Amino acid sequence: MWSVGCIFGELLTQKPLFPGKSEIDQINKIFKDLGSPSEKIWPGYNELPAVKKMTFTEYPYNNLRKRFGALLSDQGFDLMNK
């Protein structure tokens, strides 16, 4: 479902959804729109090797509504958010 939601977003905006300059930049762009992972929503997250080595900016959960609110109905947003 993740890739379908990304394609859906790119069709709506006609631009890459998360155009990172590197893998880390892309992850930060994803976290900015979707929220930073935590133990609460992803049990075991803090034990991932990459997470132990890096620090990511904390973003609130799910900012997609801000980015796509004018382009999507509630049903469209629900589909993209799956």
CB 6 within 8 A of CB 13: no
Question: For the whole model, what pTM was predicted?
Answer: 0.78
CATH number corresponding to 2-80: 1.10.510.10
Measured distance CA(30)–CA(50) in Å, rounded: 16
Confidence of residue 76 (pLDDT cuts 50, 70, 90): confident
Q: Which two tokens stand for residue 6?
A: 């990304």
Interval 20-56: pLDDT, tens: 999 999 999 999 988 999 999 899 999 999 889 988 8
Report d(CA 51, CA 54) in Å as an integer: 5
